[in-house]
Each structure stands twice: as C-alpha cells, then as structure tokens.
Amino acid sequence: QVQLVESGGGEVQAGGPLRPSCAASGGILRIKKLVWYRQAPGKQRELFASITGGGITNYADFVKGRFTISRDNAKKTVCLQMNNLNPEDTGVYYCNANLRISNYVWRDYWGQGIQVTVSS
C-alpha cells in the first residue's frame, strides 16, 4: 500500500541538530509538494516548511536560517536538516505530501508523526 513514513526524530540537547526524513513507498511515481508541520505541547499545529516538486522551498520566520528542507527524487524522500535546536522546537513533527499514484491520480498523505524533544 502507499505510505508516507517519517523517521529520524528523537531527543537532542539544545543547540544540537536532528535530520528527520519523510519517505514515500508503495510504488508511487513521485512526490509533488511536501509540507512539514509541527505541534508543540498545548499548542495548535503549525506549518513551518515546504518544498515543491521542482525544489522550491519556503520557511516560516521562526525556522529561517536554522532549518533546511531538501528532496531526493530517486529515493522518493524529503529530508529536514534542523540545526541550532532549542526547547521551543519540541513537539510532534508531521509531513504531508501530494503523491502521484498513477498517471492521472494524485492524492494527499500524512506521515505518522515523530517526536522531537530538545532538552535545555
């Protein structure tokens, strides 16, 4: 079946890096646009980064200069390089992607969510 699987979360000390990723599987043809969201404890989900099928990226102000999103089309994977993490970055991180299932079928999928914990 088609899946969008996240990995690479975990716990890190303040100032350290993490590199989570979001990989599509199940015989899809390609990832079109992919968007990263996160939800901190007690707060609403917030969008913070995206990448188009052509590799154009956008970032929320609170992650600019610290986070970098990239894609590997051959591996059907999008990676998120997070540097200079602080405790305010703690939360559950989700990816959402528009996937090309067949020649004329495109559908949105959510990753399962991964925990990112930054200790002070």
Give average pLDDT by consecutive 10-residue segment, the chain, 120 residues: 96 98 96 97 96 96 97 95 97 98 95 97
Q: What is the pLDDT of residue 35?
A: 98
Q: What integer pLDDT is reported at residue 59 of this predicted model?
A: 98
For 56-68, the DSSP string reads: -EEE-TTTTTTEE
Q: How much is the pLDDT for 73?
A: 92
Number of Cβ within a 10 Å radius of residue 101: 15
Q: Where are the beta strands (DSSP E) in 1-72?
A: 3-7, 10-13, 21-25, 30-39, 46-51, 57-59, 67-72
User: Residue 61's pLDDT is what?
Assistant: 97
The reported pLDDT for the residue numbered 47 is 98
